[in-house]
Amino acid sequence: MKLLTSLTSPYGRKLRVIAHELGLSLKVEDTAPMNDPAALLAANPLGKVPALVLPDGSTIIDSPVIAAFLLASVPGQSLMATSGPGHWEARTTEALADGVLDAAIILRFNMTQGITSGPWVDRQYRAIERALAVMNGRVGGSGFGDICIAVACDYLTFRFPELDWRTHNPALADLTDLLLATPAFQVSQPSA
Ligand SMILES: N[C@@H](CCC(=O)N[C@@H](CS)C(=O)NCC(=O)O)C(=O)O
């Protein structure tokens, strides 16, 4: 299996950590989405990373879908319940963490165009703040949810070092510090 992703994509990192924890081998192909490489557009017409290319050439796109595929590839995995309330709680935690990333990436794209203030920018910061507070109360719900949370928090540290998300969210801070020390997070550290 080949994962097309940039080495800084937090969505890609989420999948690399999950694959590592599941013991799945994933070949990572460094892919810069903004250059519209042909291999990426063939895998994902939306031009976004990550995209997973399977041995038969078929593709799976969008990190929650790819994550679900990876989990389903390992029967008996212990990262997430496969049904019931625990399953939906973990997936909702993923949606919260991904939503933090979506807002952070909007902010980054705006910054590259010199837009650093205004109602649309403020809205993203407010969404991040609210989601972090909710995620702070969801730590420990599942291994999968915890990975999603720590990936999002570490992305904030990476791209928004001035944003103090730790002070008001001590459970997020403790979880992120704990998971950053694990081999899966170590080998998937974003390289600028
Ligand atoms: N919902 C998607 C979001 C993926 C995404 O936004 N990826 C960014 C890079 S981190 C990207 O490829 N951006 C290029 C673009 O939006 O054209 C997922 O979870 O995979």
Asked if the model's pLDDT at residue 23 lies above 90, the reply is: yes
Q: How far is the CA of 50 from the centre of ligand 1 (A)?
A: 7
If you average pLDDT over residues 41-51, what whole number do you get? 98
Contacts of residue 20, Cβ cutoff 8 Å, sequence gap at least 6 = 183, 184, 187, 188
Whole-prediction pTM value?
A: 0.98
pLDDT band of residue 192 (cuts 50, 70, 90) is: low
Distance CA 60, CA 56 (A): 12
Nearest atom, ligand 1, residue 61 CA: 20
- pLDDT score for 191: 76
Q: What are 138's two structure tokens?
A: 């969801």
Q: Which residues surround ligand 1 with Cβ inside 6 Å?
A: 9, 11, 33, 47-50, 62-63, 98, 105
Query: What domains sit in the chain, N to C, each tagged with a CATH number?
Result: 2-72 (3.40.30.10), 84-187 (1.20.1050.10)
Task: Summarize pLDDT for 118-134 with one digit per residue, the tens.
Answer: 999 999 999 999 999 99
Whether the bond into 50 is cis, omega within 30 of 0: yes
Task: Summarize pLDDT for 139-174 with one digit per residue, the tens.
Answer: 999 999 999 999 999 999 999 999 999 999 999 999
Q: How far is the CA of 33 from the centre of ligand 1 (A)?
A: 8
Mean pLDDT of the chain: 97
Task: Summarize pLDDT for 53-94 with one digit per residue, the tens.
Answer: 999 999 999 999 999 999 999 999 999 999 999 999 999 999
- pLDDT score for 164: 97
Q: How far is the CA of 133 from the centre of ligand 1 (A)?
A: 24
If you average pLDDT over residues 2-27, what whole number do you get? 98
